[in-house]
Chains A and B, each alone.
Chain A
Amino acid sequence: MGLQYAEPIEPVREVRPGLDVIPGGPLLSVLAAAAATTGVSLADNLRETLSDLCAREDYGLVLIDSGPGDATILDALLATARYLVVPSSDDSASLEGVELLATRYLRARKAGAQVELLGVVLFNANIRATTRNQLVLESIDQMLEGSGATRFTSIIRSDKAAAIDLRALSLTPKELVGAAAGARKSRLSALRSGHSPTGERLWSRDPAGLATDYQELSRELLRRIAERERVGV
């Protein structure tokens, strides 16, 4: 509604301390078609509602998690956002997706958008495949030449079991570390006492590595934003 009609957005408050969330909702997928037929400016609406929201709630940072597929929404986001972070997997389709996004990013800037590229981060990668990762990182470096941005040194590792648990339990990676340790303990003590383990089964055994990756990326991301903001002051 915020995008289509510039109506005030109501966030879901305090899902974690200091964190509000605005879910996209199922109507987001039909929004682009509706905007095309009605001539609504998604960028203008988004900028207006976001500006109101930030003034009202006094947010320090707004993160928009967008899908790569919807070009109309992507263009509106590029016209609104201040910084761009591009995650890419290590397969060629993902890297080609980054190339397409780069074209959209440059066109948005050409049209006057203030968005700045913060960097590209490799994620969903096998951290043990060092040679392959090195080649992918070199490709990313080549794509970033001349942009003034560098790739993030953090890499988000692939951990399918943790991904399943995170979705199922709506936990953050850091919270999953504690949950996995607790689940392991209670499972072992149940088995020791001859009972079948009860409670929700967790697939991940040790998500500490994944949590560390995200922490490192967050740190790097915030540092880069702070550096840009400092320069901009």
Chain B
Amino acid sequence: MGRSSVFDPSRLDEELDELLPPPSRVPVAVLQDEPPTVAEAAGAPTSGSGPVPDSAAPAAADSVEDGPTPDSPDRPPHPAQPAVATATRRPRGSGGRPPAQERAPAESPSNTPAVGGFIVVAARIPTQLWDAVINGPLSGRERPSYAQLITWTCQDQPDDVVRQIRANLAPDRTPRGRRLAAPVNTITVRFRHDELSAFDELIESASIAGQRVTRTAGIIAALQVSSATSTASS
């Protein structure tokens, strides 16, 4: 599954012309006027098929094979020989996050995927809650990640979070039989190891009579508390 960084502009000087036949037209001139805002989508999401290898470049399509290859951090790997992901890969430039070596090592529980030093926990939360969070505590231009928001809420209002978890898990008359689907949003919460440990500890303490509290329940409760606090303070 290893893939090379094919969108990396540093490929421009090294390999690009070898991969594609020359363009059918003369090179495009730089736009003189401000172009209209155009988002170009290659392949319709509704069409049921994704980008497929282009018949105009059969040589390139044929040359793409899977398999690890030695990779140097100074030189981007050749797309025909995808490199395996290593610890030396370059940061993806996402929003000022510290480089990988400064982050906590990925020591994740075996059932949770760890990506780049973070432990990713996916949770489905009601769309209404998601809207409240996005328009509440996460509405600023500079905003924390989901994991930070949840961790801070658990640190600042642990009692409220535990109370909310217990309230959510209290027996009610929601039918367990056939139910209509409700709109939900899937969020991926990227915890650091210490954040997840503290979070797991808190949700365990919310358990009553050995009832298991899932991380999803904890995430939903923390976001509800955070969103309610944000509404109350605004």
List residues of chain A with CB under 8 Å of any chain B CB: 35-36, 41-43, 47, 50-51, 54, 59-69, 71-72, 74-75, 77-89, 91-115, 117-118, 121, 123-124, 127, 130-131, 134-136, 138-150, 153, 155-156, 160, 163, 166-167, 206, 208-209, 211-212, 214, 216-217, 221, 225, 229
Contacts and interface: CB of A to CB of B under 8 A. Distances in A.
B51 A101 contact: yes
10 contacts: A50-B36, A62-B39, A66-B42, A71-B24, A78-B40, A80-B38, A81-B38, A82-B40, A110-B16, A153-B188
B52 A68 contact: yes
Which of A65, A88, A117, A206 has the most B CB atoms < 10 Å from its CB? A65
A88 B51 contact: yes
B85 A142 contact: yes
B103 interface: no
Main secondary structure of the interface of B (DSSP, over half): loop
Given A94-B50, A100-B51, A108-B28, A62 B113 contact: no
Interface stretch (B86-94, B155-163, B166-174, B207-215): B86-94
Contact of A101 (B24, B38, B42, B180): B42
Contacts of B33: 51
Interface string B1-13: 1111111111110
A117 B5 CA distance: 13
B43 A71 contact: no
Interface of B: 1-12, 16, 19-20, 23-31, 33, 35-57, 60-61, 64, 66, 76, 79, 82, 85, 89-90, 92-94, 113, 115, 120, 122, 127, 180-188
Contact of A71 (B11, B56, B82): B56
A96 B60 CA distance: 10
Contacts of A130: 122
Given A64-B38, A102-B6, A130-B122, A75 B24 contact: yes
Given A62-B36, A142-B4, 14 more contacts: A43-B28, A64-B41, A82-B35, A93-B53, A99-B6, A100-B57, A106-B16, A109-B9, A124-B48, A138-B85, A145-B8, A147-B9, A155-B186, A212-B185
B16 A107 contact: yes
B52 A106 contact: no
